[in-house]
Structures are given as C-alpha cells and as structure tokens.
Amino acid sequence: MNVPQGQFPDESPDPGRWLDDHGDYLFKYAVFRLRDNTAAEDAVQETFLAALKAYKEFQGRASERTWLVGILKHKIVDHFRRAGREAPLGEESDEGPEHREFFERPEPWQGHWNNDYAPNEWHATPAELIERSDFWKVFNDCLSPLPQRTASAFTLREVDGLKSEEICEILSIKVNNLWVMLHRARLHLRNCLELNWFRREQ
C-alpha cells in the first residue's frame, strides 16, 4: 500500500493541526467563491466536521489538503443551493450592470463601441498573466462591484470550469439568466482589467 510520507493510515485525526495547517488556505478558497466572510467561516467549519466523520475513508489516499478542498467544494455548493432557494433571482438588475455607456455613440453608429470604452490591444499572453502574483487581487477587486450571485456564477464558470447546467442547478436559475449574468460579468471585468492594469502599464 502506498502511504504518502508522514501520513499513517491508522493515525488518529488531529483537527487542531488541520486548522493550523489548512484553515487559512481553506478560508481564502471559500471566501473567493462565496464572497462572504461568515459563509466562508461556516463552510470551513463544516468541512472539518465532515472530515472528522469521514476520516476512515480518507486514510492517506490523497494529500490532506486535496482531500479537505474536495470536501470544501461540496460545502460551498451546499451554501449556494440554500441561498438560491431562499432568494430566487428577481429583478433584472440582479444580474449586473448593463454598461450601455460602452456603446453610446451618435447615429448612425449607436450600438458600436464608444471610443472611451473600446478594447485596446493587451500585448499579454495567458502565460505572462499566469506568472503575475497580483492577478487574483485585481480579478477579485474587479468582481466586487457586481451582484454577489453574478460574481459567484462567473467564478464557478471561469475559475472552476463547471458546466452551465451544473451552475444553473446549484444557483436555481434558468440558463438564459446565467448567460446574461456571465455576459455582464465579462463585459465589466474585461473593461476593469484593462483600466486598472493594462492601461496603467503603458
């Protein structure tokens, strides 16, 4: 049997050490997706409680952190499910800003990019962006003005790579709503990244 170094299958669980070793990481992972400190703290606590119960099944099969993150993902989804049931999507404004001003132009060009908001060339490749340590900070700051559910839907889609149908089921929304939310998040985020980042550097 393959036992990862330093982990013994019959070792008794030590939740105090889990908290010290992984508490901050799990919290950041959760708060990034839930965008709510209290909900993230609850998710971390529930994760450790579930981990205690499921410890026998774990038995050093994966790294401890990967195992805990796996449980946390379920707790995050549970939170969204509850929130989706309690507060169904109402007004259209819940989906996020439309940013009509991006396309305000005198006729006959109404509906085409306004010069002030039109995209510029970024001169950046994903490989360069991946190297940047402040990427998540800028990303997160740019998402924060959006409605919580839109920001969460966008994160589930673009960061975690969940399928449209899965996100709709988790958030209790229709696929058309999801597409509007994702579109508005992209419109907003792209512009914000460009303003705060690419234009600043020139």
Partner 1 sequence: MKVYDKLKHSIRYWLLRTLPTCQQTVEKISQSMERSLTLRERINLKLHLWICAWCQWYMEHLHIIRETTRAKADEPPEFISGAGLSDEARERIRRRLTNQN
Contacting positions for partner 1 (CB under 8 A)? 15-16, 19, 23-25, 27-29, 31-32, 37, 41, 44-45, 48-49, 52, 100, 102-103, 108, 110-113, 118-122, 124-126, 129-130, 133-137, 139-140, 158-161, 164, 178-179, 182-183, 186-187, 189-190, 193-194
Query: What phi-psi label fits residue 123: left (phi over 0), alpha (psi between -120 and 50 degrees) or beta?
Result: left
Which is closer to partner 1, CB of 87 or CB of 118?
Answer: 118
Task: Identify the CA nearest to 22 among candidates 62, 64, 50.
Answer: 64
Which is closer to partner 1, CB of 53 or CB of 85?
Answer: 53
From the CB of 1, what's the least distance to partner 1, in Å?
26
From the CB of 153, what's the least distance to partner 1, in Å?
11
Which is closer to partner 1, CB of 15 or CB of 87?
Answer: 15
Question: Do 26 and 68 form a contact (C-beta atoms < 8 A)?
Answer: yes
Amino acid at 155: T
Please name the residue that has the structure tokens 């508490």.
23
From the CB of 28, what's the least distance to partner 1, in Å?
5
Distance of CA 191 to the CA centre of its chain: 19
Question: Do 98 and 180 form a contact (C-beta atoms < 8 A)?
Answer: no
